[in-house]
Amino acid sequence: MGAVKEVSSAQFAAEVLDATVPVVVDFWAPWCGPCRVVGPEVDKLALRLGETTKFVKVNIDEARDIAMQYGIMSIPTIAKFERGQVSAQVVGARGADALIKELGLV
């Protein structure tokens, strides 16, 4: 099992919005090819940065309300939440190093 936790709509507020550390959210769907490419990269980040940052996945098919609330139009979308707000966002598949830079995780 990876270090990235799958969260439902019901868990989103507690796991992401109320978190005391930055949270990286991987918005994905099982049918999305690029999502399957970026998933292992997010897992690498979770293993590398898991002490200071929380990592979760949200299946947009099962949590449509969350996807709509945050305007997720394309997947994969990787968003960094800080203090309950989106502070950075990347759309499309990227490697772990690119995600670190683009999300400001360093």
The single residue of 24, 32, 38, 103 carrying the catalytic annotation is 32
E-assigned strands of 30-76?
Answer: 54-59
* Domain locations in the chain as residue ranges: 5-103
pLDDT of residue 14: 97
pLDDT of residue 24: 97
Please list the ranges in the chain whose pLDDT falls under 70: 1-2
Residue 48 known to be catalytic? no
Fold of 5-103: Glutaredoxin (3.40.30)
Q: Look at residues 41, 39, 86 and name the one whose alpha carbon lies nearest to residue 58.
A: 39
pLDDT of residue 50: 81
Residue 32 known to be catalytic? yes
